[in-house]
Structure formats: structure tokens, C-alpha cells
């Protein structure tokens, strides 16, 4: 029982849950869930978390880690990224702080983003490190940012990078997978909803070096998709 599909099916049998139950609980389409069960596709992180919640199993177990299947009765704290100060070719000037965001993954701390903080404007620029085995998971803005109970994955460590949550703006450097074009998304924190929302304001300053990275990744994606 080494694959995600095998573990989902095993948990469904153990918990006496049918496909229709999981689809109802998670909002995942029947077709998408069928593709997960067949092993044709693996669920993305946010979808796998929904499945784990529906089945009441440990998310790490679904990923294949050597942990008990059943979740602890104690509420588990959300993982969050840590910002490590670093020197980089992307450093613009002494007013800007450059960091590497480390995320818990595969039982280790993995570098996941280049982060540039403009303290004077309270703005953060997030550039994913496109690791080829899972680059597609980071083409779009992480769904955690749009959730009031999950944005702390990114914002819990804000104090260490001199960001103020209440007025924070985030620029996310991603890829539009429909047309294989770079896409920079501007997000603003909305206190009333306690989450980030996509801003319709005119985009301000962009980090040119970050834009070059997503341009290269977009070309890579386009080339390999058309092969």
C-alpha cells in the first residue's frame, strides 16, 4: 500500500465511506475523484487535505509517511513557512530584505519561495522555487492565503520579516496555465474577512528578476506541454 490511491481506497473501506460520500464532503467532482482512485492523477495538496478531513485520517499518512492512519484526538497545529534571511542576487537595495521561505515537506524543511520584502510599503513579493517534481502546485496563488483559518501558513512568521498583517500586500509570481504566460497577482489583506483577496488596483512595483524567472518557467511549461 504505497500509493496515495491505494491509501485512499483502504481508508474508504475502513471508514465505510463511498465515493459519493467523499464527493459530497469535499466538493471535488466525481470525475476528478475517480482519477485519484485509479491512480491516474494524484490530488493536489489542498484537495488531499479535504479528502483526509472527510476520511478523518492523518494527512501525512495519505502522503505515504510512516505514521498512524488515524488522526490524533488532539487538534494539530497547522504547518507554516519560516522566513530565513539570506543573501541573493535578487537583493535590490538596503531598504529591501531578501529571504528564503522554508516549508515543512517530506519530513524536512524545504526551500519553497524567494521572498523580497519592501518594508517601506509593507509589501511582500513571493517567487516559488520551481522544483520540477511539483512545480505545478505553485503556479497559482496558494489557496491558504484566501482562507481565514489558514493564511497563518504564510503570515504567522510576519513579525520576523517586518510585515504588518493589517495593511499587507502580497505579489505572487505565478503562471497562467491556460495560455502559458507569466502572471503576477496582487493580493491585499482584508481585515473584515481575515484573509487575502485579489486586488483590482493597478499593479505597482514588480521585481524584474522575479518576472524573468516566471517567464523562463512559462516557456518550460509551454514547451513540455506541447511535446
Backbone angles phi, psi at 65, to 5 degrees: -75, 155
Q: Which residues contact 212 (CB under 8 A, 6 or more apart)?
A: none
Cβ-proximal residues to 92 (8 Å cutoff; 6+ apart), any chain:
116, 207
| Mean pLDDT for the stretch of residues 115-131 | 92
Residue 98 reports pLDDT greater than 60: yes
Angle between helical axes of 45-55 and 19-26 (0-180°, round to 10): 120
In percent, the amount of the chain with pLDDT more than 90 equals: 45
Give the whole-angstrom CA distance, residue 179 versus residue 226. 12
Asked if 102 and 154 touch (Cβ cutoff 8 Å), the reply is no
| CATH number belonging to domain 4-62 | 1.10.260.40
Task: With H, G, I as helix, E, B as strand and everything else as coil, classify residue 96.
Answer: strand
Across 61-75, 111-125, 127-141, the highest mean pLDDT is recorded for: 111-125
Q: Which range has the worst mean pLDDT, 5-14, 149-158, 214-223?
A: 5-14
3-state secondary structure of 35: helix
What is residue 75's predicted lDDT score, i.e. its pLDDT?
42
Instruction: Return the higher-pLDDT residue of 69 and 1.
Output: 69
- The residue with greater pLDDT, 78 or 33, is 33
Confidence check: pLDDT of 95 > 60 = no
Strand-pairing partners, residue 19, are none
- Look at strands 123-128 and 169-176 and give their pairing: parallel
Domain boundaries, the chain: 4-62, 82-225
Residue given cell 493597478 in the structure block: 202
Across the chain, mean pLDDT equals: 85
Who contacts 136 (Cβ-Cβ below 8 Å, separation ≥6)? 177
Best-predicted range by mean pLDDT (3-7, 40-44, 163-167): 163-167
Determine contact, residues 68/58, Cβ cutoff 8 Å: yes
pTM over 0.75: no
Query: pLDDT tens across 193-217, in order?
Result: 999 999 877 667 888 999 999 999 9
Which of 92-96, 110-114, 155-159 has the lowest average pLDDT? 92-96
Please, which residues have CB within 8 angstroms of residue 208's CB and are 6 or more apart in sequence?
A: none
Residue ranges in 112-226 assigned as alpha helix (H): 152-155, 208-225
User: Hey, what's the cell of 9?
Assistant: 481506497
Of the pLDDT bands very low, low, confident and very high (cuts 50, 70, 90), residue 74 is: very low
Identify the weakest region by mean pLDDT among 36-40, 83-87, 120-124. 83-87
pLDDT average, residue stretch 177-186: 91
Amino acid at each position: 500500500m504505497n500509493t496515495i490511491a491505494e491509501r485512499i481506497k483502504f481508508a474508504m473501506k475502513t471508514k465505510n465511506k463511498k465515493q459519493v460520500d467523499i464527493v459530497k464532503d469535499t466538493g471535488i467532482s466525481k470525475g476528478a475523484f475517480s482519477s485519484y482512485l485509479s491512480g491516474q492523477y494524484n490530488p493536489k495538496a489542498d484537495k488531499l487535505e479535504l479528502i483526509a478531513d472527510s476520511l478523518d485520517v492523518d494527512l501525512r499518512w495519505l502522503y505515504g509517511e510512516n505514521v498512524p492512519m488515524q488522526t490524533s484526538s488532539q487538534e494539530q497545529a497547522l504547518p507554516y513557512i519560516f522566513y530565513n534571511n539570506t543573501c541573493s542576487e535578487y537583493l535590490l537595495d538596503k531598504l529591501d530584505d531578501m529571504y528564503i521561505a522554508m516549508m515543512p515537506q517530506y519530513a524536512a524543511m524545504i526551500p519553497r519561495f524567494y521572498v523580497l520584502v519592501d518594508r517601506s510599503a509593507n509589501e511582500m513579493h513571493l517567487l516559488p522555487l520551481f522544483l520540477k517534481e511539483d512545480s505545478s502546485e505553485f503556479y497559482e496563488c496558494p489557496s491558504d492565503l484566501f482562507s481565514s483559518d489558514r493564511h497563518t501558513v504564510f503570515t504567522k512568521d510576519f513579525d520576523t520579516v517586518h510585515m504588518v498583517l493589517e495593511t499587507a500586500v502580497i505579489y505572487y509570481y505565478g503562471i497562467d496555465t491556460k495560455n502559458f504566460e507569466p502572471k503576477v497577482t496582487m493580493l491585499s489583506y482584508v481585515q473584515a474577512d481575515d484573509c487575502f483577496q485579489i486586488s483590482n488596483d493597478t499593479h505597482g512595483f514588480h521585481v524584474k528578476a522575479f518576472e524573468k524567472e516566471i517567464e523562463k518557467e512559462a516557456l518550460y511549461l509551454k514547451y513540455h506541454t506541447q511535446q
